[in-house]
Amino acid sequence: MPPTVELHEKDALLDRIAVLLGGRAAEEIFIGAISSGAADDIQKASRLARLSVMQFGMSDRLGLVDYSLQQGGEQNFYRPYSEHTAKVIDDEVSQIINDQYERVTTLLKEREKEVHSLCELLISRESITYSEILECIGPRPVPPDPQMAAYIQALPTRPLLPETGDKETGNKEPGNKETGEKETGDNSRRDDDDSGGQERDLDNNDDASVPEKVKEKVREAAEAVAGRKPASGPVACKADKDEDA
Write out pLDDT tens, residues 74-83: 556 678 889 9
Asked if 96 and 102 touch (Cβ cutoff 8 Å), the reply is no
- Name beta bridge partners: 175: 182
Confidence of residue 157 (pLDDT cuts 50, 70, 90): low
Asked if 93 and 133 touch (Cβ cutoff 8 Å), the reply is no
- Name beta bridge partners: 70: 75
Window from 65-69, 89-93, 138-142, 151-155 with minimum mean pLDDT: 151-155
Range 10-160+209-244 has CATH code 1.20.58.760: yes
In the chain, the amino acid numbered 140 is R
Instruction: Pick 153 or 45 by higher pLDDT.
Output: 45
Instruction: Pick 223 or 231 by higher pLDDT.
Output: 223
3 state DSSP class of 148: helix
Asked if 35 and 27 touch (Cβ cutoff 8 Å), the reply is yes
What CA–CA distances, in Å, run from 137 to 111, 223, 231?
9, 12, 18
* Distance separating alpha carbons of residues 216 and 222, to the nearest angstrom: 10
In the chain, the amino acid numbered 220 is E
The pLDDT tens digits of the residues spanning 31-52 come to: 999 999 999 999 999 999 999 9
Instruction: Pick 80 or 166 by higher pLDDT.
Output: 80
Window from 8-12, 90-94, 110-114, 151-155 with minimum mean pLDDT: 151-155
What element of type H or E holds 50? helix 39-54
pLDDT, residue 68, reads 85
pLDDT, residue 220, reads 75
Asked if 138 and 111 touch (Cβ cutoff 8 Å), the reply is no
Of 23, 44, 33, nearest in space to 240 by CA: 44
**pTM of the predicted structure, to 2 decimals:** 0.61
What secondary structure does DSSP assign to 26-93, as a single string? HIIIIIS---GGGHHHHHHHHHHHHHHHHTS---TTT-S----SEETTEE-----S-HHHHHHHHHHH
In the chain, the amino acid numbered 66 is D
